[in-house]
A and B are shown apart, each in its own frame.
Chain A
Amino acid sequence: MTRNGSVFKRLVPALAGAAAAAMLLTACGGSSVNQAAAADGSKAACGTVNVAMNAWVGYTANAAVYSYVAKEKLGCNVVQKDLNEQIAWQGFSSGEVDIIIENWGHEDLVKQYITDQAVAVDAGPTGNKGRIGWYVPPWLAKAHPDILDSKNLNKYASLLKTSESGGKGQLLDGDPAFVTNDEALVKNLGLDFKVVYSGSEAALIQSFRAAEKNKTPLLGYFYEPQWFLAEVPLVKVNLPKWTPGCDADPEKVACDYPDYTLNKIISKKFSDSGSPAAKLVKAFTWTNADQDSVATDIQNGMTPEAAAKKWVDAHPQQVEAWLK
């Protein structure tokens, strides 16, 4: 190496020196300020809990409140891992994720990880009801009240036409992670619309925000609970009512989306461990309003921890009931 010229000549001793110095300092680590003020170890009973953090604010609200209670009341060491849903589920089998605290259906993943591999279990509903559907901005619903019935949508196809929709009305879809039957729905309801894929939740929200602000027409896929509905109360369009089995064949579906009972999924190992944190996650339930209040606080700039503390402080009995 030394023959390789001045950079390596200079770099190698430099790095070696730096490394040696670092090691030397590490060796006398006893004096480090880090160790001197080490945290008290009295709360170690609960152990470590790995919470997957899926990327939407409602999820963050659930996770923040759970983490806050587990940390403060049970003394657990909560590790939050930012992951998307699919990878979070993968984490159950490798033991790197213990909790998914808001799950929207995902029949394929349920089959793979709960039924087939048996590495995860359903820890019961969160108490939140999920609803998927087609929404319009409030100004549009007010200006054209009959747009809220899917039978009248064709009348508005030309109004909802954009440069992206190839001469038809535009139905804007969102995050590809969400279940959608929209292409089949458009076909089977005989609508003169084209599904345009915005590609992300951010794109969908920003589109609705702009539509309300600039009073431009927009029809799009959306869902609740969602913090954005507190900012702009989108109005749901009524599709033909959902009845059990009407969406059995995804090609022929011609009815609204069912209501989702959002639930918690935890790893089998964690569930069987008897950890108080596992008990807590099984007991954790709250309402859409609860989640919205925390989510809106986060949305308005509070840290998730602060928003969770605010909610927990305001609802002592409910938290007490989870811990029983």
Chain B
Amino acid sequence: MSATLLGAEKATNTPAAPPTVPRRRLSRRALLLISAAVVWTVGFVFLHGTGTLALPTSELTDLHRSLNQFNSWVASNRDDNPVFLYLLSPLRSAVDAVAAVFTTVFAASSTGLGLPEIGWLGTVALLGWLAFAVGNARVALLTVAVFTFFGLQGLFVEAAHTFALVVTSVLLSLLVGLPLGVLAGISSRVEKIITPVLDFMQILPTFVYLAPLALVFLIGPASAVIATVIYAAPPIIRLTAHGIRGIPENTREASDSLGTTPLQRLFTLQIPMAKRTIVMGINQGTMAALSMVTIAALIAAPGLGQVVVRALQSLDVGTAVNAGLSIVLMAIVLDRVTTAASERARPATQRRRSALPRRTRMILVGATFALALVLVQLSRTMLWAARFPQEINIGPAITSGVDAASEWLQTHLFLLTGAFREAVTVAFLNPFQTAITDTPFFIMFAALALVAYAFGGWKLTALVLACLTVIVYLGLWGDAMVTLASTLVATVIVMVLGIVFGVAMGRSERFDKLMRPVLDAGQTLPAFVYLVPFLGLFGATRFTAIIAGVIYAAPAAIKIMADGISGVSPTVVEAAVASGSTPWQVITKVQLPMARKSLGLAANQGLIYVLAMVVVGALVGAGGLGYDVVAGFVQSSLFGKGLAAGLAIVFLGILLDRITQAAAFSAPSRSRSTAPSATTKEA
């Protein structure tokens, strides 16, 4: 696969590598990578077209047919199997009850006028106050402004539904995630067991388990919440474990020498010291939960996602963008508030002293709470404060403005974009895809095994071969290779963007400030929102799918690169400038080489994020595994194949993740960085 890519990357890195690295080790790795490229090239030249294991889109294997039975098995066992009766049904009722509380409080009640317990004014006041209490005045103001803006967009009720669902999901994710995270933090054995499970939860496309979930937990809030928890809990678990593990050994020993019991140690030392990382996990989990709203809408979860999904069926770009904007804004609010809370969670000595003295702040918190209560009461008794006045509605203006803009783009840019797409596809994507799909599977096995051995030794090689074997067993090798080709092309584009924008942002704080909201939007805007104009510009092609993947994955890579570049010690940069280096020299000779770890991490995360968009890409012509997943979601006779394709995506993801991590950190192990993989996916 990426033998040549990685080889090339290596080659450019070699001159920059510090001279202390032993020469022999490097040349051995290079040798292995070159031999992988040779095996691949020779295999392709002599054997191309044989052993490709391609399965036509409309055909099934016996494995797929037997997986099809799953749905009918659930249907026939739901009423009498004890697992369903005593475990799953009570679980569903409990989750439903929690979801109902939040929905009734914020979004809609089932009685009377259907107004929630707390109307819009009360919600805005209460959430604003909460943001102030856990964060600061700035995020409080942001919260109030954004939630009022939802009203102006004519989407307050929908936003409140989404908010209620996200809050429910995050609470349940914490309930599950914190104890598991703490456990994984204390015990290496638990972590070893839980890591592959978390990989599964994060990489398996939601479309694969949404239908069975709706079958087990029925249609309604419970299924939507549980689907969200499956996706939102892993980052919380990972970061909690990471935080607890990150405590310096000597601190722990100091505490142990005082004779603390393990439980005391946990509550007095480990959890308090890991607090900041844990709150970061809550932040990541919240973002992940919000990214599920459009998916949850497919099983009748009310809210903003539903507006987007409905707009898509009539290709109504304006309405979709209006709702998508709400989702982005809500993500920004939740992100900023939880970040402010994590800032506050730093030990007081490390924290930048807040502008307000503690006492004044407490008084202010109390006073604003009283004000919030008054507004809540008002929103319960006055109709204008309960339901957002419909007279003030700028939604239609946004909708028609966006429609006009998208129309203009599609009319005037089509020739340009069409030619561009054609050029990229013919010159780059098609030959590359052919090189991957037409190579016999055993040649790919050999080439990838060599690459894995070069980076990670025997252990990684065994893991890679196991993943590849499973993909073959699943009967979807051909589709997996189609997906792999698009994924790698998208990742290359992501890395180019990551380096260009990351360097620019790392070097200029002002540019960084300017870009952040754009990047946030790229990560949280549901793909459904921008797919339609892109279809107009690029047609239903793999290229469109690649663009969608890039939009979603590039922000993560850019952020990581910017972080790495700005982390380069300023004295080194100053020294380089003082010795007469041009900016270009500073970037290529100092900043990029010194941010090499970030480069590796960006490539790894870029790949995983691109992979998370495989299913969305299939909605606009990507084909491959993503299409199998989508088809399995909508046709019961293809369910088994969809499930198999979902599993193939997971194994492909694990394979790519472990290889890139090994390459990035140059350590001969599969040790996983705790940086959360894909925080958001699909739609």
Instruction: Collect the chain B residues with CB atoms within 8 Å of residue A26's CB.
Output: 117
User: Which residue of A14, A34, A60, A108 contacts B112 across the interface (Cβ within 8 Å)?
Assistant: A34
Instruction: Collect the chain A residues with CB atoms within 8 Å of residue B344's CB.
Output: 6-7, 10
Interface assignment of B260: CB less than 8 Å from any CB of chain A: no
Contact with A along B56-84 (1 / 0, CB 8 A): 11100000000000011001001000000
Interface assignment of B623: CB less than 8 Å from any CB of chain A: yes
Report whether A87 and B299 are in contact in the complex, using a CB–CB cutoff of 8 Å.
yes
A169-213 CB contacts (< 8 Å) to partner B: 172, 175-177, 180, 183-184, 195-207, 209-210, 213
Q: When A38-B112, A81-B219, A86-B211 are in contact, do A18 and B130 touch as well, CB less than 8 Å?
A: yes
In whole angstroms, what is the CA distance A180 to B299 when docked?
A: 25
User: Which residue of A17, A91, A172 contacts B219 across the interface (Cβ within 8 Å)?
Assistant: A91
Q: When A90-B215, A206-B315 are in contact, do A5 and B275 touch as well, CB less than 8 Å?
A: yes
Which B residue's beta carbon lies closest to that of A17? B369
Most buried by B among A36, A108, A210: A210
B521-535 CB contacts (< 8 Å) to partner A: 531-532, 535
Q: When A21-B373, A25-B117 are in contact, do A163 and B536 touch as well, CB less than 8 Å?
A: no
In whole angstroms, what is the CA distance A146 to B325 when docked?
A: 47
Interface assignment of A256: CB less than 8 Å from any CB of chain B: no
Report whether B634 and A85 are in contact in the complex, using a CB–CB cutoff of 8 Å.
yes
In whole angstroms, what is the CA distance A91 to B619 when docked?
A: 25
Report whether B111 and A34 are in contact in the complex, using a CB–CB cutoff of 8 Å.
yes
Minimum distance in angstroms from B645 CB to a CB of chain A: 12
B352-387 CB contacts (< 8 Å) to partner A: 365, 369, 373, 376-377, 380-383, 386
Instruction: Collect the chain A residues with CB atoms within 8 Å of residue B430's CB.
Output: 163
User: Which of the 9-residue segments A93-101, A235-243, A313-321 touches chain B?
Assistant: A93-101
Chain B interface residue number, banded: 35 or more
Report whether A82 and B133 are in contact in the complex, using a CB–CB cutoff of 8 Å.
no
Report whether B620 and A84 are in contact in the complex, using a CB–CB cutoff of 8 Å.
no
Report whether A210 and B634 are in contact in the complex, using a CB–CB cutoff of 8 Å.
no
Report whether B134 and A14 are in contact in the complex, using a CB–CB cutoff of 8 Å.
yes
Instruction: Collect the chain A residues with CB atoms within 8 Å of residue B268's CB.
Output: 3
Report whether B539 and A207 are in contact in the complex, using a CB–CB cutoff of 8 Å.
yes
Minimum distance in angstroms from A254 CB to a CB of chain B: 15
Contact with A along B40-51 (1 / 0, CB 8 A): 000000000000
Interface assignment of A143: CB less than 8 Å from any CB of chain B: no
Minimum distance in angstroms from B434 CB to a CB of chain A: 9
Q: When A18-B130, A33-B380 are in contact, do A210 and B219 touch as well, CB less than 8 Å?
A: no
Interface assignment of A227: CB less than 8 Å from any CB of chain B: yes
Interface assignment of B668: CB less than 8 Å from any CB of chain A: no
User: Which of the 9-residue segments B232-240, B510-518, B625-633 touches chain A?
Assistant: B625-633
Q: When A7-B134, A210-B410 are in contact, do A197 and B300 touch as well, CB less than 8 Å?
A: no
A36-51 CB contacts (< 8 Å) to partner B: 36-39
Interface assignment of B541: CB less than 8 Å from any CB of chain A: yes
Instruction: Collect the chain B residues with CB atoms within 8 Å of residue A37's CB.
Output: 112-113, 383
Minimum distance in angstroms from A84 CB to a CB of chain B: 6
Report whether A31 and B380 are in contact in the complex, using a CB–CB cutoff of 8 Å.
yes
Instruction: Collect the chain B residues with CB atoms within 8 Å of residue A22's CB.
Output: 105, 117-118, 376
Instruction: Collect the chain A residues with CB atoms within 8 Å of residue B118's CB.
Output: 22, 25
Which A residue's beta carbon lies closest to that of B118? A22
Interface assignment of A132: CB less than 8 Å from any CB of chain B: no
Minimum distance in angstroms from A72 CB to a CB of chain B: 18
User: Which residue of B298, B429, B540, B635 contacts A177 across the interface (Cβ within 8 Å)?
Assistant: B635
In whole angstroms, what is the CA distance A109 to B421 when docked?
A: 40
User: Which of the 9-residue segments B305-313, B557-565, B567-575, B647-655 touches chain A?
Assistant: B305-313
Report whether A183 and B540 are in contact in the complex, using a CB–CB cutoff of 8 Å.
no
Report whether A83 and B299 are in contact in the complex, using a CB–CB cutoff of 8 Å.
yes
Report whether A60 and B313 are in contact in the complex, using a CB–CB cutoff of 8 Å.
yes
Interface of B is mostly: helix
In whole angstroms, what is the CA distance A109 to B636 when docked?
A: 8
Minimum distance in angstroms from A162 CB to a CB of chain B: 8
Instruction: Collect the chain A residues with CB atoms within 8 Å of residue B531's CB.
Output: 202-203
Q: When A25-B117, A163-B430, A172-B540 are in contact, do A83 and B111 touch as well, CB less than 8 Å?
A: no
Interface assignment of B393: CB less than 8 Å from any CB of chain A: no
Report whether A117 and B618 are in contact in the complex, using a CB–CB cutoff of 8 Å.
no
Report whether A198 and B299 are in contact in the complex, using a CB–CB cutoff of 8 Å.
no
Interface assignment of A261: CB less than 8 Å from any CB of chain B: no
Instruction: Collect the chain A residues with CB atoms within 8 Å of residue B56's CB.
Output: 183
In whole angstroms, what is the CA distance A91 to B214 when docked?
A: 9
User: Which residue of A57, A206, A227 contacts B536 across the interface (Cβ within 8 Å)?
Assistant: A206
Minimum distance in angstroms from B369 CB to a CB of chain A: 7
Interface assignment of B297: CB less than 8 Å from any CB of chain A: yes
Report whether B271 and A164 are in contact in the complex, using a CB–CB cutoff of 8 Å.
no
Report whether A205 and B315 are in contact in the complex, using a CB–CB cutoff of 8 Å.
yes
Interface assignment of B499: CB less than 8 Å from any CB of chain A: no
Report whether A202 and B535 are in contact in the complex, using a CB–CB cutoff of 8 Å.
yes
User: Which residue of A25, A82, A164, A216 contacts B300 across the interface (Cβ within 8 Å)?
Assistant: A82
In whole angstroms, what is the CA distance A196 to B539 when docked?
A: 12
Which B residue's beta carbon lies closest to that of A173? B57
Report whether B621 and A203 are in contact in the complex, using a CB–CB cutoff of 8 Å.
yes
Interface assignment of A275: CB less than 8 Å from any CB of chain B: no
Minimum distance in angstroms from A308 CB to a CB of chain B: 15
Interface assignment of B220: CB less than 8 Å from any CB of chain A: yes
In whole angstroms, what is the CA distance A30 to B512 when docked?
A: 52
Report whether A14 and B299 are in contact in the complex, using a CB–CB cutoff of 8 Å.
no
Report whether A199 and B381 are in contact in the complex, using a CB–CB cutoff of 8 Å.
no
Report whether B275 and A7 are in contact in the complex, using a CB–CB cutoff of 8 Å.
yes
Interface assignment of A294: CB less than 8 Å from any CB of chain B: no
Minimum distance in angstroms from A88 CB to a CB of chain B: 8
Interface assignment of A56: CB less than 8 Å from any CB of chain B: yes
Report whether A84 and B298 are in contact in the complex, using a CB–CB cutoff of 8 Å.
yes
User: Which residue of B115, B215, B298, B635 contacts A83 across the interface (Cβ within 8 Å)?
Assistant: B298
Interface assignment of B414: CB less than 8 Å from any CB of chain A: yes
User: Which residue of B312, B536, B539, B619 contacts A199 across the interface (Cβ within 8 Å)?
Assistant: B619
Interface assignment of B86: CB less than 8 Å from any CB of chain A: no
Report whether B298 and A33 are in contact in the complex, using a CB–CB cutoff of 8 Å.
no
User: Which residue of A17, A84, A89, A203 contacts B619 across the interface (Cβ within 8 Å)?
Assistant: A203
Instruction: Collect the chain A residues with CB atoms within 8 Å of residue B631's CB.
Output: 176
Interface assignment of B345: CB less than 8 Å from any CB of chain A: yes
Other than the given A38-B111, A176-B635, 13 more pairs (CB < 8 A) read A7-B134, A7-B345, A22-B105, A55-B310, A86-B633, A94-B218, A108-B636, A163-B422, A163-B425, A163-B426, A203-B531, A205-B315, A209-B315
7 cross-chain pairs, A with B, having the tightest CB-CB distances, nearest first: A198-B540, A176-B631, A206-B535, A177-B634, A34-B115, A163-B425, A81-B300
17 contacts between A and B (CB under 8 A): A11-B341, A14-B134, A25-B380, A32-B117, A34-B380, A34-B386, A56-B313, A84-B634, A87-B214, A116-B72, A162-B541, A163-B543, A197-B618, A201-B313, A202-B535, A203-B620, A210-B536
Binding site for B on A (CB under 8 A): 3-7, 10-11, 14, 17-18, 21-22, 25-26, 29, 31-39, 55-57, 60, 81-87, 89-91, 93-94, 96-97, 108-109, 112, 116-117, 162-164, 172, 175-177, 180, 183-184, 195-207, 209-210, 213-214, 216, 227, 298-299, 301
Binding site for A on B (CB under 8 A): 56-58, 71-72, 75, 78, 105, 109, 111-119, 126, 130, 133-134, 210-211, 214-215, 218-220, 267-268, 271-272, 275, 279, 297-300, 306, 309-310, 312-316, 341-342, 344-345, 347-348, 365, 369, 373, 376-377, 380-383, 386, 410-411, 414-415, 418, 421-422, 425-426, 429-430, 531-532, 535-536, 539-543, 618-623, 626-627, 630-631, 633-638
